[in-house]
Amino acid sequence: MSYIIGPMSMVKGEGMWPEFANVLKDIETKSIRRASEIWEGYTFGGLTPNDRQFGICPLRAGEMASDVSTTTLSGTYSFRKNLADTGWHPIFNYSTRKDILHAFAGFAVTDEILRIIQFRMEISDRKFPIFDLQEAQSWGNFAILIKQDIGEALIAEPETSVLIEAYVEATGYQRIVPLGFQLYKRKDLVISKR
């Protein structure tokens, strides 16, 4: 597995790296294929799936906050974290729910100040290399684009543990937004009711 760190302006917008679009498309294809294998008898239904279809949406902060019940979403969540101490700290530490699959393409830090200098992640028993972010200190907001090796995908299947940690160098708030997809078998897990 390899990764690229780049300014947000190069990841999204005019003159963007084609690698970003390629990685997103690859992750989407692999996660849809995997969901079709896991949820036998279900087909892909896009954003608004019908019966016997699974859907797709962006990764959601509430699902990654470990504060959801099995039937309803609780609270409003943000990807903004209060980093109160220096050293290694969990940014996301959760397990996907029964009818949820998460597929990661990378991460974006949308703040002007970079408070973290390294990043690491585990999906179930798979541990991935530490990403060194120090070269991005002077860029302002930036993105970490994870380029997958052939056959490798960062997919957290249903009921799988996910741990994403950052080495905090300066305390304060940091917004770390995962880039990728959440696939869901049941609409009531993601579609809110008023």
DSSP, residue by residue, 36-96: HHHSTT-EE-TTS--TTEEEEEE--TGGGTT---SSS--S---SEEEE-SSEEEEEEEEE-
How many domains would you assign to the chain? 1
Domain membership of residue 16 (yes or no) is yes
Domain membership of residue 192 (yes or no) is no
pTM confidence score? 0.85
Domain membership of residue 190 (yes or no) is no
Domain span at residue 45 reads 2-65+78-182
Q: What is the pLDDT of residue 150?
A: 54
**CA atoms lying within 13 Å on the CB side of residue 135:** 8
Residue range 70-76: average pLDDT? 50
- Report residue 59 as tokens: 């990764």
Domain membership of residue 161 (yes or no) is yes
Mean pLDDT of the chain: 83
Residue 70 has pLDDT above 50, yes or no: no
Q: pLDDT digits over 79-93, tens only?
A: 999 999 999 999 999
Q: Report how far residue 104's alpha carbon sits from residue 184's, in angstroms, rounded to the nearest whole number.
A: 15
